Structure 1
């Protein structure tokens, strides 16, 4: 399928904003949003001032999302994040890229050590699912009853002492309590996600 990738004008990959997009218009919007934020307090003569001519948008043939986004790191990169700089800790929240100091403190003091591995796995599932849905252009809207939202379904195998994904997925009107972070556009995508990341689901479930 076709994707649109924002690169530096010379063709070098960039990691200062989301690189891969499903449409040309989405790529243009991401680029313009970044330029506006970057140039907000800069003069035209500032060395850090950027223009659209500093970048280019390439149309490329891309593999399926399950072949490209295969783990937490590739998901974080697809969402425009980088290790150790995804979030900034501040006293007041003013964007999605910041975490409130009080929340971080509570996370450290209130967390049950027995659940740390499960919470890490859950964070990975949330992040990978977000990246998959972004690639699919799917935004769950639980106020829209006409929009189906599909979830992986699991069955416990006592011999293997673990859960495995099966084909039985369910639309949102039946299982909306699962929440929007782990639902998908089609039953095929939900089943694919469940099977590909069974190990992470088992770390959460068991």
Structure 2
């Protein structure tokens, strides 16, 4: 159980545990039984809270990660877009280094592993909403600080895509360099988009 799971309800422990496990192993390599064990929860309670099974747990885990990242991003963006960017980078840097390169983003894991079908699976829809929300938060901050609306939207997409991709690269390479390399470039782009 992670430190973040202490003091949570049984349902929330399962969700937090699922987000952590998906961030480490991916969605397809994670079973409901393993999620329950990772969260120190009885298997029966997992099915009690999530009768639809793995897809329902995965959706809740993505929503949990989205809420945590959005909260952190809002807090950092209150000091402006550059501070928000640096906070967003620091968040993922901390996760990657804190897990010794074993954890990444559960939202990304679900987004790349969940197949797109005629009916979009709920976990994939939740991942799309998470990315959209992070982009929207960044774009709003950029616009509020004087960046052109079109450029703000493009920069926000670039930031989310670059940070998510660099986080995955860090895990694969067991190096923080990809995040460090994009940090200076993104900071330069954000600063250049702001008037004055």
Q: TM-score normalized by structure 2?
A: 0.28
Structure with higher Rg: it is 1
Pick the structure with more strand per residue: 1
Q: Which has the higher helix share?
A: 2
Q: Which has the higher relative contact order, 1 or 2, with Cα contacts under 8 A spaced 6 or more apart?
A: 2
